[in-house]
Amino acid sequence: MNNTVGKEDAGSLFIKAISYLCLAIFALACLFPFVLMISSSFMREDEIIREGYKLIPNHFSAKAYELLLNNSQALYKAYGVTIFITVVGTVSGLIMMSMAGFVLNRKDFKYRNFFSFLIYFTTLFAGGLIPSYILMVKYLHLKDSLFAMILPGVVGAWSIFLMRNFMKAIPDSLYESATIDGAGDFRIYWQIFMPLAVPSLATIGLFSALGFWNEWYNGMLYIQSPDKYPLQYFLQRMINQTNIQALINQGAVINTADLPSQSIKMATAVLATGPIILLYPFAQRYFVSGLTIGAVKG
């Protein structure tokens, strides 16, 4: 800043000071709900009932976590379901979308514009919730199936176009020399393009995984058996219920009066968000690159 000293007038300094202040306030506002949630989850139940959730509790207690981790079969099952749909959905989606992106980028593929439009049009007009519900339940028989939470979100039009644009950056000469060497289309895709596309696969894969991790909507629509609830839907049900006894412990006996319902609700939310918060610092730069590319192109 040495070169600007002397030229910074009062107005400029004022703008800078205000900027620091506003950014700091907004950043605190972004963090506040998380902090409140975490400290609420460590409160003692009697204190919550007597005085309500607090930012700084009088007493510290990890009883909610103890109970959840020791007794709640349902929570582990929900974790299992969410991990399953996240892994299966992300991996299969990435394979399908990268193949499509590869084909749609091939200039010698005659119908690429037709197929691109076929995909694009679905972002403009949708049949609607009711017809797709009827299709899923009455014709595809996906009610109460884990695939009802995987299939609807497995590929996305924007991600395919993002993939295609990433592939555009790979020089055509690579493809041409591989053809001359006698490699088939699939081999070119798998052995040449895929290794080069790793950064873009990471970006799109992270978005896709995040979508599956946060999945609750299709679970709410289609899933009936409690042991197939995804994590977020499990959490949503718990928040909306006064008596969470049945949701928590399948089998184990806990006295309802001893059940710290209010702190358990918050502890479940912490456990459901935890992995995102922990991975966020590492994954963030992929997110940001994906966001800006998506925004500029789309």
Partner 1 sequence: MHLVSRLKLHCGNVLRELVKNKILFLMLSPVILYFVIFHYLVMPGAYVAFVDFNISKGIFASKFVGLDNFEFLVKNGDLWNITKNTLLYNFAFLALGNVIQIVFAIMLYEISSKWFKKISQSVLLLPHFISMVIVGVFAYNMFNFKTGFINTMLVSLGLDRYEFYSDPGIWKYIIVAFKIWSATGYGMIVYLATIAGINNDLYEAAYMDGASRSQRIRYMTLPMLKPTFILLLLFGLGGILKGSFDLFYNLIGTNSVLYPQTDIIDTYVFRSLVGQFNFSMGAAVGFYQSLFGLILVFTVNLIVRKIEPDSALF
CB of 26 to partner 1, least distance (A): 6
∠ Cα 214 216 222 (to 5°): 145
CB of 191 to partner 1, least distance (A): 14
Among 126, 180, 253, 257, binds partner 1 (CB under 8 A): 126
Q: What is the DSSP secondary structure assignment for residue 56, as one 8-state letter?
A: S
Q: Segment 24-83, which members bind partner 1 (CB under 8 A)? A: 24, 26-27, 29-31, 33-34, 36-37, 40, 48-49, 51-55
CB of 253 to partner 1, least distance (A): 26
CB of 251 to partner 1, least distance (A): 26
Residue 241 in contact with residue 247, Cβ under 8 Å?
Answer: yes
Candidate ranges 60-68, 174-182, 193-201, 290-298; the one touching partner 1 (CB under 8 A): 290-298
What radius of gyration, in Å, describes the C-alpha atoms of the chain?
Answer: 25
Q: Which is nearer to partner 1, 20 or 252 (CB)?
A: 20
Q: Segment 238-267, which members bind partner 1 (CB under 8 A)? A: 239-240, 262, 265-266
11 binds partner 1 (CB under 8 A): yes
SS (H, E, C) 3-18: HHCCCCCHHHHHHHHH
Q: Which is nearer to partner 1, 64 or 160 (CB)?
A: 160
∠ Cα 268 272 276 (to 5°): 150
278 binds partner 1 (CB under 8 A): no
User: What is the enclosing helix (H) or strand (E) of 209?
Assistant: helix 198-213
CB of 269 to partner 1, least distance (A): 4
Q: Segment 200-229, which members bind partner 1 (CB under 8 A)? A: 210, 213-214, 216-217, 221
Candidate ranges 63-71, 72-80, 108-116, 245-253; the one touching partner 1 (CB under 8 A): 108-116
Count of residues touching partner 1 (by CB under 8 A): 101
* Residue tagged 């939470």 (tokens): 149
Instruction: Give the CA-trace dihedral at 252, 253, 256, 258, to 10 degrees.
Output: -90
* Residue tagged 């595809």 (tokens): 140
**Helix axes of 73-105 and 231-239: crossing angle, nearest 10 degrees:** 130
Q: Which is nearer to partner 1, 124 or 253 (CB)?
A: 124
Quote the tokens at residue 86: 């996240």
* Rounded CA separation 215/233 (Å): 8
CB of 240 to partner 1, least distance (A): 6
Residue 200 in contact with residue 101, Cβ under 8 Å?
Answer: no
Among 46, 66, 184, 243, binds partner 1 (CB under 8 A): 184
Q: Which is nearer to partner 1, 76 or 280 (CB)?
A: 280
